[in-house]
């Protein structure tokens, strides 16, 4: 991967990181790009929020409960 990523490449790598472990040659340029780019930081944060909400929904929590607990599910007997 080339040293400087553009936003398209960075968002693609962020999405791929959900499916596989990125190589060091992908991770370092991605971290540098995200450090410099507010748009890609927002994309990363929104992806994280969507993952937390989806996990909470799958476990029976609603969005407000997921937001209040930071995505952590309370342990309750079933």
Q: What is the pLDDT of residue 58?
A: 86
Q: What is the pLDDT of residues 51-74, one digit of tens each?
A: 999 988 888 866 566 666 665 555
Give the count of domains, the chain.
1
Asked, for residue 25, whether it belongs to a domain, the answer is: yes
- Residue partners of 40: CB distance under 8 A and separation at least 6: 7, 10, 11, 14, 33, 34
Q: What is the pLDDT of residues 22-35, one digit of tens each?
A: 999 999 999 999 99
Segments forming the whole domain that contains residue 57 = 7-67
Asked, for residue 76, whether it belongs to a domain, the answer is: no
Asked, for residue 74, whether it belongs to a domain, the answer is: no
Which has the closest alpha carbon to 43: 28, 33, 56, 55?
33
Asked, for residue 72, whether it belongs to a domain, the answer is: no
CA distance 78 to 14: 35
Q: What is the pLDDT of residues 6-24, one digit of tens each?
A: 999 999 999 999 999 999 9
Helix (H, G, I), strand (E, B) or coil at 60: coil
């Amino acid at each position: 991967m080339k040293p400087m990523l553009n936003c398209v490449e960075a968002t693609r790598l962020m999405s791929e990181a959900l499916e596989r472990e990125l190589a060091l040659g992908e991770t370092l340029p991605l971290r540098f790009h995200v450090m410099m780019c507010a748009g890609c930081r927002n994309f990363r944060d929104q992806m994280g929020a969507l993952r937390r909400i989806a996990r909470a929904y799958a476990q029976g929590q609603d969005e407000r409960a997921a937001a209040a607990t930071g995505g952590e599910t309370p342990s309750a007997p079933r």
